[in-house]
Amino acid sequence: MKKNVLSAMVGAACIASSTMSSTAIAAPEKPNIVYIIVDDQRYDAMGFVNHEAVTPNMDQMAKEGTYFKNAFVTTSLCGPSRASILTGQYAHNHGMVDNNKNDNVYNLDFFPQRLKQAGYQTAFFGKWHFGGVEKEAKPGFAGFDKWVGFIGSNSQGNYYPINEFGGASELNVDGKIVKQKGYITDELTDYAVDWLEHRDKNKPFMLYLGHKGVHADFLPAPRHIGKLKGKEFTKPDSWVNNAANYEGKPRWVKDQRNSWHGIDFPYMENLVVTQI
């Protein structure tokens, strides 16, 4: 895996796009941008926030960067939130209110389009998951010169080259359907690093890397199997199903326990605390 190479290149990009003087640090005219998003990460499931969590890379980024303690999301669902990130609009304006197909996705104004107009190279890797365009997308869509995206399994992507139905996991690489070769976190990182290494070094760039992890199903890379064997994790207070836990909260907080994305049924009905 090239995560260390990517981290180094991200750091180099930040350094290269900054200028220093004896009096102040001037904002670069066209800074390079690397945006990395992980999926379904709890706010407190990071080692520097909760000592039970094992997240050394996130801990390092928090230590060497900035941690926004009071950051909130208005629409906590894949499609609406990702559309908001890419358009800068609330869901009631961009219209992506769920993860389903929506042809209006072609009419949205995505910020990578603006960056391309400003001379940027742009690339997308990973999870899109709104508008239903995963198979149709190709270079140029939403302002991205390079496109490597998930398809299949409701466009969630698969951790392994063989999906849950026994078939081959697939990716859309620049409009062509190709088979996934390895563990998806590693493969996306490799695609991203390869693009960074072969881009035009004379132009600024923006890279969007949308990982599948840590979305269910919780399948680790082969090298990590057994690494946390014997480690116990404390369930959050919100796990408790009693009146005190729901006091002062909207009714849907209780109702959603029995929903597709709820704690108890049916999406996670087979979730148990296991040693991996």
Q: Tens-digit pLDDT profile for the chain (276 aa)?
A: 555 445 444 443 443 333 333 345 666 789 999 999 999 998 889 999 999 999 999 999 999 999 999 988 888 899 999 999 999 999 999 999 999 999 999 999 999 999 999 999 999 999 999 999 999 999 999 999 999 999 976 789 999 999 888 999 999 999 999 999 999 999 999 999 999 999 999 999 999 999 999 998 889 999 999 999 988 888 888 888 999 999 999 888 888 887 776 776 656 556 554 433
Catalytic: which of 14, 51, 129, 215? 129
Contact 110, 142 (CB under 8 A): yes
pLDDT in the model for residue 256: 80
Tokens (6 digits) for 132: 């239903």
DSSP 104-126: GGGG---HHHHHHHTT-EEEEEE
**Phi then psi for 13, rounded to 5 degrees?**
-65, -40
pTM across the whole model: 0.85
**14 flagged as catalytic:** no
Whole-angstrom CA distances from 55 to 16, 31, 214, 217 are: 27, 28, 11, 18
Q: Residue 91: left if φ>0, alpha if ψ -120 to 50, beta else—which one?
A: alpha
Going by the DSSP 8-state scheme, the letter that residue 218 receives in this structure is -
**CB under 8 Å to 46, separation ≥6 — which residues?**
53, 55, 58, 59, 62
Distance CA 188, CA 210 (A): 9
Locus of tokens 């996670």: 268
Contact 270, 264 (CB under 8 A): no
Q: Which amino acid is at 103?
A: D
The count of residues in the chain is: 276
Catalytic: which of 51, 78, 92, 261? 78
**224 flagged as catalytic:** no
pLDDT in the model for residue 272: 55
Tokens (6 digits) for 275: 């040693």
pLDDT in the model for residue 154: 73
